[in-house]
């Protein structure tokens, strides 16, 4: 893959397929969405193959794999620990796999993995071992809260990266952007630990263009995964221009 000297922009296209699945049509076309994103500055495509298949479908995964390879960009697959989802991951060989928690009743991912629960830890450990043994060269990230105790437990799994759940930060920002200092301090503390243990630091969930500069100023995240806001804003401006603007914010 082409190396870059700025944080990666990972564009999550789940909600293109949310709209498609709402009517069971063939549109909007995932291939067009992928190409628009990759031609306008996305460094990575992120998708979440949920157990309930509410948006991304198994058949979408090889499409994302092929097109990201064609554009020499990264493919990041989010998943939980369902056996059939893991089998699909093995089949499509993503560059990154981000392991996330998942509940059927949730509207979206509500927080990070609860690694303090020994049964959860063991299941994640088993999943990491399977992925690494079956997907050549795959890199693993874990979706976690910015909590040092949890991060220390996660280090035992030797992930290549931790993706910090920025959802609560994002909610706080929308209420009052002046009251986010506690979140920024947590992010810095976690980053310090990760750097000391050679683990990459990523960010994702609920982010918008207005929030991004605050995080960029800290210079701690190597990757930002943004989806829902991009697709929402695209209704008014088109997905290409929205991705291009975000890419330019990051590069500046």
Instruction: Exactly one of 48, 55, 165, 191 is catalytic; name it.
Output: 48
For residue 79, the model assigns a pLDDT of: 97
The count of residues in the chain is: 252
pLDDT in tens, 156-205: 999 999 999 999 999 999 998 888 999 999 999 999 999 999 999 999 99
| Count of domains for the chain | 1
- Does any domain span residue 166? yes
Q: Residue 191: helix, strand or coil by DSSP?
A: helix
CATH number, position 62: 3.20.20.70
- Does any domain span residue 234? yes
- Catalytic residue list contains 78: yes
- Does any domain span residue 251? no
Consecutive H or E run containing 165: strand 161-165
For residue 1, the model assigns a pLDDT of: 47
For residue 107, the model assigns a pLDDT of: 56
Instruction: Exactly one of 15, 191, 202, 205 is catalytic; name it.
Output: 205
Instruction: Exactly one of 78, 163, 223, 233 is catalytic; name it.
Output: 78
- The end-to-end CA distance of the chain, in Å, is 22
For residue 105, the model assigns a pLDDT of: 58
- Residue-number span of the structural domain to which 76 is assigned: 8-246
**Phi, psi of 29, deg, nearest 5:** -80, 120
For residue 236, the model assigns a pLDDT of: 98
For residue 129, the model assigns a pLDDT of: 98
- Does any domain span residue 3? no
For residue 104, the model assigns a pLDDT of: 62
Q: Residue 123: helix, strand or coil by DSSP?
A: helix
Q: What one-character-per-residue DSSP string does 56-107 give? A: --TTHHHHHHHHHHHTT-EEEEEE-S-HHHHHHHHHH--SEEEE----TT-S
- Name the pTM for this structure: 0.94
CA distances from 124 to 92, 164, 247 (A): 20, 17, 32
Residues of the chain below pLDDT 70: 1-4, 103-110
For residue 177, the model assigns a pLDDT of: 82
């Amino acid at each position: 893959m082409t190396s870059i000297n700025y944080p990666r922009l990972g564009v999550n296209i789940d909600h293109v397929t949310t709209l498609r699945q709402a009517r069971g049509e063939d549109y909007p076309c995932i291939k067009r969405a992928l190409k628009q994103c990759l031609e306008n500055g996305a460094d990575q495509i992120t998708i979440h193959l949920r157990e309930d298949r509410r948006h991304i479908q198994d058949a979408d995964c090889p499409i994302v794999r092929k097109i990201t390879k064609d554009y020499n960009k990264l493919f990041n697959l989010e998943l939980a620990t369902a056996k059939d989802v893991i089998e699909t991951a093995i089949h499509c060989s993503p560059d990154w796999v981000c392991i996330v928690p998942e509940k059927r009743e949730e509207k979206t991912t509500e927080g990070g993995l609860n690694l303090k629960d020994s049964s959860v830890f063991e299941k994640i450990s088993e999943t990491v071992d399977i992925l690494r043994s079956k997907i050549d060269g795959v890199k693993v990230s874990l979706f976690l809260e910015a909590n040092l105790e949890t991060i220390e437990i996660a280090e035992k799994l030797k992930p290549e990266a931790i993706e910090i759940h920025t959802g609560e930060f994002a909610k706080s920002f929308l209420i009052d952007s002046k009251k986010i200092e506690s979140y920024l301090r947590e992010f810095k503390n976690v980053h310090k630990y990760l750097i000391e243990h050679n683990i990459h630091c990523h960010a994702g969930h609920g982010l918008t263009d207005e929030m991004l500069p605050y995080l960029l100023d800290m210079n701690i995240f190597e990757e930002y995964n943004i989806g829902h806001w991009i697709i929402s804003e695209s209704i008014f401006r088109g997905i290409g221009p929205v991705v291009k603007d975000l890419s330019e914010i990051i590069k500046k």
